[in-house]
Amino acid sequence: MRQLVYYESRKHFLTKPMFAMVLILFIVNAIKIVSVSREQSPFSMLSESCFREAYDKLYEIYKGELTDKKLEGIMAIYEPLKEKIADNTYSTEAEEGCMTYNSFSDCLFLEWCFIRDIEYETGYEDYANNVVRNAVSNVSFFKSKNSLFEAKVNYRIAKAFYQRKLTSFYNTDGFRALLYYDFSTIIIILLCLYGCSSVFIKEEETEMYLLLKTSVKGREASFAAKIMSCMIFVFFICILFSAEDYALFLVNFGNMDAFSEPLYMLEGFKDTLLNINLISFYILCVISRLIGIYAIAFIFMMISLYGKNILSVLVANIASIAGIIGIYSINASALKYVNPLSLVFGRRLFMRQEFINFFDYPVCSSLLPYIFSGSILIVGAAMMSRRWNRG
């Protein structure tokens, strides 16, 4: 079997055109990450060096645990500056003794790079406690109305938010950019489109299918080898580009110090029910993307098996992915849970989770795309096996 898998991999994926395409897109992805980093980092290569120097100096002092001493220290710098420019009579000229350029730029610098994040982090405990109080109150209310499903939903929310708080300050720009970066996902889909579209149709075009039917291992073994080679290829490119994303964002943003901090440290995820850290969430996103890409790759292979020539298969596969994207974007609220793209762009599933009623038991709706994509894999494999063996 290993020899068959290797043979199928060499025939479809370990080719010079595929290596060239992967290399080119790998470089394109790197260029895109550098561009995104420059746009989203407050300290791009075009920024004045004094801002970067001031930030590095203050960050080393205030990163880590948010103690009262640190909070008093940063506010002792920020509040006098805020008062100084409050009446809009501040100078626009350079001032000596300032961290950046003048008092106005110092105030904005502190507000955007430190104060906003610190205020969010110190205020999150009160926000979480308020959510818990409201959820507990709702549990009592819905129980009195005999609405067990809503009562259990609010209990789940209260349990998830109980004793939540943020006690540290770290730069999260790198993780924020990483988790919102989707360009590499588009590259992976394009590579799957190119590679998986020929897995079965190539045998039809070269008339090898008739020979395979008469060979000892021409049916089940060769079919399994094609599926396995495709899955290995998808796994490899998903891991390759995911690792590139993380490594280059780490290099471009300078650090990923917040990797062990909870997911809700990012303001966009303040309502998430997940109580995991940022690096664990990125791994979850990579696994989700892999499952979603597997489902899409199986769709490509099914079309390849039922096609007549490579051109028609490519056109049909392009149409299928365009249809999936169109359904996801137009009816995202209604059909996002039965679409493999929901896993490909997995962060959206966990920003604010919803529940469905399963005999008065709340089931997190973010599980549905996993079930749906798993069904595509099982049904697709069964349909392709039947078609392959029948001829």
User: Is the pLDDT assigned to residue 86 strictly greater than 70?
Assistant: yes
Under the banding of pLDDT at 50, 70 and 90, the label for residue 386 is: confident
Over the chain, what is the mean pLDDT?
Answer: 84
Q: Alpha-carbon distance 253 to 173, whole Å?
A: 7
Record the tokens describing residue 357, joined without a space: 């009623």
Q: pLDDT for 18-67, tens place per residue?
A: 999 999 999 999 999 998 888 877 665 445 567 778 888 888 888 888 89
DSSP state of 169: E
* Packing angle of the helix pair 278-306, 368-390 (nearest 10 deg): 30
Helices (runs of H) and strands (runs of E) counted in the chain = 18, 4
Summarize the confidence of residues 236-265 as an average pLDDT.
91
Question: What percent of the chain has a predicted confidence (pLDDT) above 70?
Answer: 88
Q: What is the 3-state secondary structure (H, E, C) of 294-356?
A: HHHHHHHHHHHHHCCCHHHHHHHHHHHHHHHHHHHHHCHHHHHHHCCHHHHCCHHHHCCCCEE
pLDDT at 92: 66
| pLDDT for 81 beyond 50 | yes
Per-residue pLDDT, 331: 58
Q: Give the CA distances from residue 312 to residues 188, 306, 338, in Å, rounded to whole numbers and listed in that order.
A: 21, 10, 26
Q: Which candidate, 299, 315, 321, places its Cα nearest to that of 372?
A: 299
Decide if pLDDT at 124 tops 60.
yes
Please, what's the b/e burial string for 37-52 (b: 16 or more CB within 10 A of its CB; e: otherwise)?
beebbebeeeeeeebb
For residues 199 and 208, what is the distance between their CA atoms, to the nearest angstrom? 12
Alpha-carbon separation of residue 177 from 52, 246, 253, 262, 293 (angstroms): 19, 10, 9, 16, 22
365: DSSP letter: G
The structure's pTM equals 0.88
DSSP assignments along 229-294, one per residue? HHHHHHHHHHHHHHHHHHHHHHHHHS--GGGGSBGGGSGGGTT-----BHHHHHHHHHHHHHHHHH
Give CA–CA dist 122/168, Å, rounded. Answer: 9
User: What pLDDT does 45 receive?
Assistant: 47
Residue 204: the pLDDT is 60
Question: In percent, how much of the chain has pLDDT > 90?
Answer: 34
pLDDT the model gives residue 57: 87
pLDDT (tens digit, 9 = 90+) per residue, 338-362? 788 889 988 888 888 888 888 888 8
| Least confident window among 165-169, 292-296, 331-335 | 331-335
Query: At residue 378, what is the residue type?
Result: I
- How sure is the predictor about 9, in pLDDT bands with cuts at 50, 70 and 90? confident
In eight-state DSSP terms, residue 111 is I
pLDDT digits (tens, 9 = 90+) for 177-221: 999 999 999 999 999 988 888 877 766 655 555 555 555 555 667
| Average of per-residue pLDDT across 258-275 | 92
